[in-house]
Amino acid sequence: QKEVEQNSGPLSVPEGAIASLNCTYSDRGSQSFFWYRQYSGKSPELIMSIYSNGDKEDGRFTAQLNKASQYVSLLIRDSQPSDSATYLCAGANTGNQFYFGTGTSLTVIP
Amino acid sequence: NAGVTQTPKFQVLKTGQSMTLQCAQDMNHNSMYWYRQDPGMGLRLIYYSASEGTTDKGEVPNGYNVSRLNKREFSLRLESAAPSQTSVYFCASTGSIDEKLFFGSGTQLSVL
């Protein structure tokens, strides 16, 4: 079983809609969680980090963490065509390991 | 500030050839990582180095070796390349598990 599981999609939403991305993790020792965005042919770039249960908002992005359910999500409000990319969920454990999910491909349709 | 510098950007090898991918960071980070990315597989951890002088296996270490040459540099070596090692390789570094990973620009490797 992978450390981090993501629904690989692909996910398509119309412009202006909310995109919802989800992942689950298996290592209860994981204490930090991240969402990265990756455009085709480029390196991953950080969108959000979250460490505590609850919600964390940054502009159009909201990350949610539920450690009891071992669940992390990312909501993108007012989706824009420029949000079209692959979104990678990652967890980091106390062994200094960062594990990534398989990624969710998002397409925002104008 | 260059961040994470990874070389080469592209490489084509024949089966059985060897090569070393180089990675250097100038952010004084303790931890460095090597990942491979294949279509539909996300990023898979090959090896990592939590601090200078230590290296540990990740999810997919077979066929690879690493060297943490000093705090700045972390190299990945393929001793006898196989077609299954055709992939995009990323080096990354961070100061701690509470901080983001900084990625290099990637190496597209093809093994024929």
Find tokens 């390789």 and name the residue. B89
Residue B100 has pLDDT above 80, yes or no: yes
- Which of B48, B92, B97 shows the shortest C-beta gap to A32? B97
Q: Is the pLDDT of residue A8 over 80?
A: no
What is the reported pLDDT for A2? 66
Average pLDDT over residues B81-109: 94
The model's confidence at residue A96, banded by pLDDT at 50, 70 and 90, is: confident
Residue of chain A whose alpha carbon sits nearest to that of B43 = A100
Among A43, A99, A103, select the one facing B105 at the smallest CB separation. A43
Element (DSSP H or E) covering residue B95: none
User: B107 and chain A: CB distance < 8 Å anywhere?
Assistant: no
Binding-face residues of B in 22-81 toward A, CB within 8 A: 31, 33, 35, 40-45, 48, 50, 56, 58-59
State residue B21's pLDDT score. Answer: 98
Which of A49, A51, A96 is nearest residue B48 as measured by Cβ atoms? A96
Overall average pLDDT of the A31-37 stretch: 94
Question: Quick one: pLDDT at residue B111?
Answer: 97
Which residues in A lie closer than 8 A to residue B59 (C-beta atoms)? 99
Closest residue of chain B to A87, computed from CA coordinates: B42
**The residue type at B29:** H
The whole-number pLDDT of residue B96 equals 87
pLDDT of residue A14: 97
In a mutational test of the B interface, the residue from A98, A102, A105 whose CB has the highest number of chain B CBs within 10 Å is A98
Mean pLDDT, chain B, rounded, equals 94
pLDDT of residue A1: 59
B62 burial (CB, 10 Å; 0-12 / 13-18 / 19+) is exposed
Task: Say yes or no: B103 contacts chain A, CB-CB below 8 A.
Answer: yes
Cis status of the peptide bond prior to A10, with omega within 30 of 0: yes
**pLDDT value of residue B17:** 97
Give the tens place of pLDDT for each residue, B15-51.
999 999 999 999 999 999 999 999 888 899 999 999 9
* pLDDT given for residue B77 in this prediction: 98
Q: What is the pLDDT of residues A11-33, one digit of tens each?
A: 999 999 999 999 999 988 888 99
pLDDT at A41: 92
What are the angstrom distances between the C-alpha of A88 and each of A33, A38, A44, A98, B51? 11, 7, 8, 12, 25
Cα–Cα distance between A45 and B83 in angstroms, integer? 28
Contact B93, B31 (CB under 8 A): yes
The answer, for A94 touching chain B at a CB cutoff of 8 Å, is yes
Express each pLDDT in A49-81 by its tens digit.
999 999 999 999 999 999 999 999 999 999 999
